[in-house]
Amino acid sequence: MSVTDEETALLGLAPVAPDRTVAYGPHPDQIVDLYEPRADAGTPSGEPGPLVVFLHGGFWRAAYDRRHLSPLAAELAGRGLPVALAEYRRVGAGGGAPQTFEDVEAAVEAAVREVPGTEGVVLVGHSAGGHLALLAAARPGTPVTRVIAVSPVADLAHAHELRLSNGAVAELLGAGPGLPERLAAADPARRPPPGVPVTILHGADDDDVPLGVSRRYAAAHPDGTDLRELPGVGHYAPVTPGTPSCRLLSALL
């Protein structure tokens, strides 16, 4: 698959319905889809696996929702892992700072309540969801035990300088007075690192979020960060079932 075909391949997959959906607030987007582990599947060790909580990307905008990650969520559940696919309020539909950040924290807590008895919580975020995962994992008292950030917007200030996706960072935080302060508070690269292991998967040929964004985060937080650069991979292949980079993600989980 060429890099230019990656987006079409991912978005061309049919969505997979969850086993159940729970709400964590009154807004229609404050919900979590739960994919229950298949009864005859199990982790390779035979031990209970972690709860995997997924945060989708889309540059924090309401035009993009969680459904494109549902095939991957269902595949992982078929391998014996409980999976929670979180939705959250986004820019243009009641979201933005701080609502989006608050929703991610509430969604993770709701998933933990709904799926007890697992061995830890792995928070997985793709693109803008990777930014949200890194930010949420740094919150004191979080139940997250590990982060896997895929093609993340991990250095928010640099992403703002690059005007990624036509200024998406400013849309998230709100332009105008006080933006530098809001930017610093929401930037994983400038906050204390999460007290849990962080693995970053980032395609070397990613045109949506350049690899340099993750390299800057890893340089800012070298301890506890494992950056894995994926040659010949773009933005979408790591979350598309069947690709080599997605098999790597599955193996890590």
pLDDT for position 39:
62
Query: Could you give the domains of the chain?
Result: 3-252 (3.40.50.1820)
Q: How far apart are CA 155 and CA 215, in angstroms?
A: 9
Please, how many CA atoms are within 13 Å of residue 3, restricted to the half-sphere of its CB?
A: 13
* pLDDT digits 0-9 by tens, 120-144: 999 999 999 999 999 999 999 999 9
When pLDDT is averaged across residues 57-80 and rounded to a whole number, the result is 97
pLDDT higher than threshold 70 for residue 47: no
Please give the helix or strand (H or E) that residue 180 lies within, else none: helix 179-185
* pLDDT digits 0-9 by tens, 150-200: 999 999 999 999 999 999 999 999 988 889 999 999 999 999 889 999 999
Question: Please, which pLDDT band fits residue 49 given cuts at 50, 70 and 90?
Answer: confident
- Beta strand extents in 91-235 (DSSP E only): 121-126, 146-150, 198-203, 225-230
**Whether pTM exceeds 0.85:** yes
Structure tokens at 240: 């598309």
- On whether the CB atoms of residues 199 and 123 are closer than 8 A, the answer is no
Residue with the two structure tokens 């979180």: 86
When pLDDT is averaged across residues 192-217 and rounded to a whole number, the result is 96
Q: What is the mean pLDDT of the chain?
A: 94
Q: Give the C-alpha distances (Å, rounded to integers) separating 20 from 54, 145, 171.
A: 15, 24, 32
pLDDT for position 117:
85
Residue with the two structure tokens 């159940």: 20
The percentage of the chain sitting over the pLDDT mark of 70, rounded to a whole number, equals 96
Structure tokens at 24: 């964590």
pLDDT higher than threshold 80 for residue 109: yes
